[in-house]
Structure 1
Amino acid sequence: MNYLISIVGLIVVLALAWIASNNRKQVKIRPIILMIIIQLILSYVLLNTKIGLDVIQAIANGFTKLLSFANEGISFVFGGITNKGEFPFFLNVLLPIVFISALIGILQHIKVLPFIMKWIGWALSKVNGMGKLESYNAVASALVGQSEVFITVKKQLGQLPAHRLYTLCASAMSTVSMSIVGAYMTMVDPKYVVTAVVINLFGGFIISSIINPYTVTEEEDILVVQEDKQSFFEMLGEYIMDGFKVAIIVSAMLIGFVALMALVNSLFDMIFGISFQSLIGYVFSPIAILMGVPASESVMAGGIMATKLVTNEFVAMLSLGDVASSLSERSIGIISVFLVSFANFSSIGIISGAVKGLHEKQGNVVARFGLKLLYGATLVSVLTSIIVSFIL
């Protein structure tokens, strides 16, 4: 029965992407089928084999070690502020982003990341049927972040037509940056975080190739990446400050969104006798069922999914943690992978603002298709959950 529901869910997601397609005649079926097969294989390997579990454990241990190094700096500055045994979210989850951002900056500066992004992007372009620029951008988004990635293609940004710009922005919204993955791993099981990061990469290509199909000629597909002309310490200071800005911005958004959610829930409970989160849970529950969540848990799952869309993934992960004891392991896995992406309303502003800061005209173009970006990125998250549901 679970397999049947997952198959129906997969068909529905692809159909929803098809309905929003710019040019249905140009949709290439073979790369889509190939990428779905790759997603299924990778999900099985990562979640159900010893090799996959060892890889995930190694990655999780690596991030745990990095977070322990980050805590050295945090303890030096903030030691003694909190009581023993407490878990301050800002200090333990958000501030380590500063250290990981610095590491990413170093790897970028010594040309390790550009090398990885270029050749993985080239390899992916052979699978997804898209251009090298689009494939590079998807990998770069996962490594340097949804805002920073546009800096690496700054020289080409003004030359891109709207359809290629859409794909670049869709990749940025469908992935998550490595600087923030460590924070996710403190909130949900690392195996789901790693699996979602990998599967979302292909999911972004699948949905974009249906919603926004096109063919790139060899002449159009020249990959130009901005050269880093900063000194080492200029770069390091910039990445450290960027990491700190991300931590501050996320913490400010969490304060506002969590407080507003509590207020709205209270008002709805007083007026209607049901919280707002429970109400939107009913709206999203059919989607949760198609993702493979048992019907008895679909309303609770739908509420968490809607929370992520309306606020952000951090608020939703906190909500998942609060109700995890009431959910089955299967539901927790499916919801967890759904939450690991930047697909929410605030990302529209973040991405359009990042592009506008580099090229004002193109920033306005991005703002115009912002809702379509969110629609596609949300379908990517649903698709990833359905793929994982085949394996769980």
Structure 2
Amino acid sequence: MDHTNCSTCCSSTATLVTNCTCGRDRTASGNPAYHPDSDTHKNARTNSIPLEAVSVAVDADYLTKKLSDNESITSSEPAPSYEGFLGYYELYRDFVFQFIKRNKAVFVYILLGTLLGAYIGYLTYVCVKNFERAQYLLWGTVAVVGLVIYFKLVKPVLVASPYYLAMKSGLKEGFTENIQKWARIGLLLAFVIGMGIFLGIDAYHDPLRLRALAGMATFILLGILLSNSPGHINWRIVAAGIAVQFVFGLIVLRWDTGKLIFEKLGDFLQWILLFANEGSKFVFSPGEDQHRMAFMVMPVLLFASFLIAILYHIGAMGWFVEKVGWVIYLCLGTTAAESISAAANVFLGQTEAPLTIKPYIPLLTVSELMAVMSGGFATISGSLMATYATMGVEAKNLLAASVMNAPSALVMAKLLYPERQKSKTDFKNMKRDKGTAYNVLDAAMMAATNSVQAIAGILAMLICATAFLKLVDAVLSFLGGLADVQDLTLAMISGYVFWPIAFLMGVDQQECYTIGQLLGFKTFINEFVAYEQLGKLATPLSNKGKIIATYALCGFANFASVGIQLANFSIMAPTRKKDITRLVLRALFAGFTANMLTASMAGLLIPESESGTVVNLNNTSQNSSLMNFHTSFHLAF
């Protein structure tokens, strides 16, 4: 068959014919190959005929290659001419840049090697100069190097080893389902017996502390009674979650080394956040201390969000969240999605944490969705954690409470809505969400911009909440006056309503009314107002009461957050809107009881010796302590 328009390189016809009169063969697809040496194309280039005007069906792959080789075709900028002295400079500069680009990996290794060598030299120098002052930097470096060696060198070789694969396969075959079941029962009995022996010895001279154990049993019993399907409760998750809480509580509240580690972490956190005050002084000075909430507390939220966004963009936060999620998955036996979400809730807020599993939310089972929503209600964000630390709350207790609330939320969620479906998520097929920022600067800018909106919302909420609280108190006072009931307020009602809960958490009886009021502020308004009221108490709490209150208030479980969760999850998973609206109040209850469960664990483990220490959370002492933290860290580093 003859080609039509053969003189223009066989431009039409889809039939494959070889040995065309133009001397070129067609491609396998039936389209002619692009003939750069044909007269037609020479004329097209010479006469500047537009490419689309040439009657030729160009091979797509060849055109893509030519466009990538000659960017001047798609770019409005002319090709470099390299004329004159500066032209030669430009020529050699482009050559050097192209050489570096082609050997990018080599130059990256050279740069990293140079920086590593410089850091090793610096570390050696400061350790020789004053080892006691530099030891924290040394041990931190050793820990980071150990993690890098394990994950980059040891783990890939170990996982690919045939001996490891054979051992893993043998363990799966050896540990049958029946053996695994009895092994779990044995571990559960061992934990219960061990916990009973420890508490029997530890609380022998202080039996009133066991009241908190009754509180834990009460909250778990409520979860069972209100459960959607009590017969399907996975007791492994419940027992493992309580065990993780108990062990972590021992480390934070009773082990001297653990207490020291969290004190140092809290001090380090507050030391970093002090630099937000420098920005506040630069922008708002003078007079920033006269409007502390707006000009000193809120900038801490801005700065913390800024730092978290940078850590998340470079992958450090995402990597850490995945590893913590894997530990939760291993210890509790929860699914991959709910484990990663629970880990993210320790550091991120109720709107940011679900983004780590956003692509998988439409695939979640109803029980998994319940667990994810409950985790959002039971924890606070890292930025707000930093903000509350500047309001007088000890950072170590906030950090410990947020960590302990993660397994507690999973326990209550799985009690209230047990799993009856097969999960569609697994750690093998889950990919990390890297966000939408182009680079670190873009991530930081987006975080700062979003934080400004959050700060405006918080300040507006505080103004409206405070005004509404005064309005409610005025109405209640008027109604109470008609019945000869003096000083009837929302705080008074909350104090009596939540008194039994505070009592069950192990709070001393004389402080139950005060902490009950704080729980009312947390539930009916939000935890921000509750922590603010905690710092304004006319009668300061004991150290034990302050710690229990910190643990109990550390969560977004309030009615205002219901709207936030509904809007957030409905946008991320519009197909699950029916399930979301059906679960949201149940998840709110799960988050609230998770906070109470964590506070009860703290009340169970805090010894009698710490109950009598009175701690005043006024702003002056807090500012003084923050300056002490700044001075100590300045001397240390």
**TM-score, length-scaled by structure 1:** 0.93
Number of the residue aligned with 1:255: 463
1:265 counterpart (473, 477, 497):
473
Point out the more displaced range, 7-16 or 44-53.
44-53
- Following TM superposition, by how much is the alpha carbon of 1:241 offset from its aligned partner in structure 2, in angstroms? 1.4
Number of the residue aligned with 2:212: 6
Write the letter of the residue equivalent to 1:250. Answer: I
Change (3 A) 1:94 1:282: same
Point out the more displaced range, 362-371 or 168-177.
362-371
**DSSP 3-state at the match of 1:72:** helix
1:91 counterpart (268, 292, 295):
295
Point out the more displaced range, 321-330 or 293-302.
321-330
2-side partners of 1:13 and 1:326: how far apart?
28
**DSSP 3-state at the match of 1:95:** helix
1:73 counterpart (279, 292, 314):
279
Instruction: Provide structure 1 residue ranges, at least 5 long, that are not aligned to the other structure.
Output: none
Greater helix fraction, Structure 1 or Structure 2: 1
Write the letter of the residue equivalent to 1:231. Answer: Y
Matched, 1:321 2:535: yes
- Following TM superposition, by how much is the alpha carbon of 1:87 offset from its aligned partner in structure 2, in angstroms? 5.7
Write the letter of the residue equivalent to 1:79. Answer: S
- Following TM superposition, by how much is the alpha carbon of 1:376 offset from its aligned partner in structure 2, in angstroms? 0.6
1:42 counterpart (248, 251, 260):
248
Point out the more displaced range, 379-388 or 248-257.
248-257
Change (3 A) 1:113 1:100: same
- Following TM superposition, by how much is the alpha carbon of 1:384 offset from its aligned partner in structure 2, in angstroms? 0.7
Matches within 5 A, 1:139-178: 139-178=343-382
Write the letter of the residue equivalent to 1:9. Answer: G
Q: Is the 8 A contact 2:270 2:395 kept in 1?
A: no
2-side partners of 1:35 and 1:370: how far apart?
22
Q: Is the 8 A contact 2:551 2:595 kept in 1?
A: yes
- Following TM superposition, by how much is the alpha carbon of 1:229 offset from its aligned partner in structure 2, in angstroms? 4.6
- Following TM superposition, by how much is the alpha carbon of 1:52 offset from its aligned partner in structure 2, in angstroms? 2.1
Point out the more displaced range, 152-161 or 178-187.
152-161
- Following TM superposition, by how much is the alpha carbon of 1:326 offset from its aligned partner in structure 2, in angstroms? 4.4
2-side partners of 1:171 and 1:186: how far apart?
24
Point out the more displaced range, 217-226 or 85-94.
217-226
Point out the more displaced range, 85-94 or 119-128.
85-94
Q: Is the 8 A contact 1:356 1:364 kept in 2?
A: no
- Following TM superposition, by how much is the alpha carbon of 1:363 offset from its aligned partner in structure 2, in angstroms? 4.2
Change (3 A) 1:208 1:79: same
**TM-score, length-scaled by structure 2:** 0.59
Q: Is the 8 A contact 2:375 2:409 kept in 1?
A: yes
- Following TM superposition, by how much is the alpha carbon of 1:218 offset from its aligned partner in structure 2, in angstroms? 6.8
Number of the residue aligned with 2:419: 214
- Following TM superposition, by how much is the alpha carbon of 1:259 offset from its aligned partner in structure 2, in angstroms? 1.7
2-side partners of 1:161 and 1:202: how far apart?
19
Number of the residue aligned with 1:195: 400
Instruction: Provide structure 2 residue ranges, at least 5 long, that are not aligned to the other structure.
Output: 1-206, 481-485, 607-637
Percent identity between the aligned chains? Answer: 26
1-side partners of 2:339 and 2:255: how far apart?
28
Matched, 1:307 2:307: no
Task: Determine which structure has greater relative contact order: mean sequence separation of CA pairs < 8 Å that are 6+ residues apart, divided by chain length.
Answer: 1
Q: Is the 8 A contact 2:397 2:551 kept in 1?
A: yes
- Following TM superposition, by how much is the alpha carbon of 1:217 offset from its aligned partner in structure 2, in angstroms? 4.5
- Following TM superposition, by how much is the alpha carbon of 1:382 offset from its aligned partner in structure 2, in angstroms? 0.6
2-side partners of 1:324 and 1:280: how far apart?
17
**DSSP 3-state at the match of 2:588:** helix
1:31 counterpart (224, 229, 237):
237
- Following TM superposition, by how much is the alpha carbon of 1:276 offset from its aligned partner in structure 2, in angstroms? 2.1
Write the letter of the residue equivalent to 1:191. Answer: K
1-side partners of 2:498 and 2:408: how far apart?
20
1-side partners of 2:476 and 2:424: how far apart?
57
1:128 counterpart (332, 357, 372):
332
Write the letter of the residue equivalent to 1:286. Answer: P
Write the letter of the residue equivalent to 1:117. Answer: V
Q: Is the 8 A contact 1:269 1:276 kept in 2?
A: no
Q: Is the 8 A contact 1:156 1:224 kept in 2?
A: no
Write the letter of the residue equivalent to 1:375. Answer: F
Segments of 4+ in structure 1 off by > 6 A? Answer: none
2-side partners of 1:276 and 1:164: how far apart?
36
Write the letter of the residue equivalent to 2:347. Answer: L
**DSSP 3-state at the match of 2:515:** helix
Matches within 5 A, 1:102-121: 102-121=306-325
Point out the more displaced range, 268-277 or 199-208.
268-277
Point out the more displaced range, 90-99 or 371-380.
90-99
1:239 counterpart (436, 447, 452):
447
Q: Is the 8 A contact 1:35 1:206 kept in 2?
A: yes
Change (3 A) 1:219 1:280: closer
| Number of matched pairs | 390
Write the letter of the residue equivalent to 1:310. Answer: F
Write the letter of the residue equivalent to 1:204. Answer: A
Instruction: Give CA-to-partner distance per residue, 1:65-105, whole Å, 9 cap, x none.
Output: 222222222222212243xx646112222221111111111
Write the letter of the residue equivalent to 1:146. Answer: Q
2-side partners of 1:312 and 1:365: how far apart?
25
- Following TM superposition, by how much is the alpha carbon of 1:318 offset from its aligned partner in structure 2, in angstroms? 1.6
- Following TM superposition, by how much is the alpha carbon of 1:364 offset from its aligned partner in structure 2, in angstroms? 4.8
Q: Is the 8 A contact 2:477 2:489 kept in 1?
A: yes
Q: Greater CA radius of gyration, 1 or 2?
A: 2
Write the letter of the residue equivalent to 2:278. Answer: E
Change (3 A) 1:74 1:379: same
Change (3 A) 1:259 1:347: same
